Structure 1
Amino acid sequence: MKEVELSTIEAYLTLIKQSKDEHSQQGYSIDFLFRGQTFDHPLLPKICRLKAKGDILQVEQTLLQEFKRTNPLLIEPHRPMDDWDYLTLGQHFTLPTRLLDWSNNALTALWFATGESLGASSYSVVWILMAQEEDFAANLETMHPFEVPQTKLVRPRIIKQRINNQSGVFSVASSQELLTKQYMNEIDSYTEKLIKVKIPSTCLKQIRTDLDTLGVNAFSIFPELEGLCTYLQWRYFE
Structure 2
Amino acid sequence: MGNGQEVHVEDLQQLIFALTQDQWQPSEAKYRINIAYRGLSSDEYPLETGLARLQAEAAGGLEQHLLRNFKKYAHRDATPGDSLWNWLSVAQHHGLPTRLLDWTFSPYVALHFATSNPRGYGRPGVIWCVDYVAAHELLPPGLRTHVEPLGHGLFTTEILTAAAGSLEAFDEYRSDDGAGVPLFFEPPSLDDRIVNQSAVF
> Same fold judged by TM-score > 0.5?
yes
Change (3 A) 1:133 1:123: closer
1:103-135: CA deviations, max 9, x gaps?
000011001000225336521111111221662
Change (3 A) 1:27 1:158: closer
Partner of residue 108, structure 1? 109
Partner of residue 60, structure 1? 63
Partner of residue 144, structure 1? 165
Moved over 6 A (4+): none
Change (3 A) 1:145 1:91: farther
> Do 2:38 and 2:103's aligned partners in 1 also have CA atoms closer than 8 Å?
yes
Taking the aligned partners of 1:134 and 1:110, their CA distance within structure 2 comes to 22
2:5 matches 1:5: no
Taking the aligned partners of 2:160 and 2:193, their CA distance within structure 1 comes to 22
In structure 2, give the amino acid aligned to 1:140: L
In structure 1, give the amino acid aligned to 2:183: K
Taking the aligned partners of 1:4 and 1:133, their CA distance within structure 2 comes to 20
Identity %: 29
> Do 2:27 and 2:133's aligned partners in 1 also have CA atoms closer than 8 Å?
no
Taking the aligned partners of 1:117 and 1:35, their CA distance within structure 2 comes to 18
Q: Structure 1: any 5+ residue segments left out of the alignment?
A: 171-238
Count, aligned residues: 162
Partner of residue 120, structure 2? 119
TM-score (norm 1): 0.62
Taking the aligned partners of 1:134 and 1:100, their CA distance within structure 2 comes to 15
Superposition pairs of residues 1-238 of structure 1, within 5 angstroms: 1-18=4-21, 20-23=22-25, 28-29=28-29, 30-40=33-43, 41-50=45-54, 51-55=56-60, 58-69=61-72, 71-72=73-74, 74=75, 76-81=76-81, 82-119=83-120, 122-132=123-133, 135=136, 136-137=154-155, 139-142=159-162, 143-144=164-165, 146=167, 147-148=169-170, 149=173, 150-170=181-201
SS in 1 for 2:91: helix
SS in 2 for 1:36: strand
Partner of residue 201, structure 1? none
The answer to which of 132-141 and 80-89 deviates more is: 132-141
> Do 2:42 and 2:120's aligned partners in 1 also have CA atoms closer than 8 Å?
no
* C-alpha RMSD over aligned residues: 2.2
Taking the aligned partners of 2:190 and 2:20, their CA distance within structure 1 comes to 31
The answer to which of 118-127 and 95-104 deviates more is: 118-127
Q: Considering fraction of residues, name the structure with more helix.
A: 1
In structure 2, give the amino acid aligned to 1:144: G
Taking the aligned partners of 1:163 and 1:79, their CA distance within structure 2 comes to 15
TM-score (norm 2): 0.72
SS in 2 for 1:98: coil
> Do 1:155 and 1:169's aligned partners in 2 also have CA atoms closer than 8 Å?
yes
Q: Structure 2: any 5+ residue segments left out of the alignment?
A: 137-153, 174-180
CA shift, 1:49, in A, is: 1.7
Taking the aligned partners of 2:36 and 2:197, their CA distance within structure 1 comes to 12
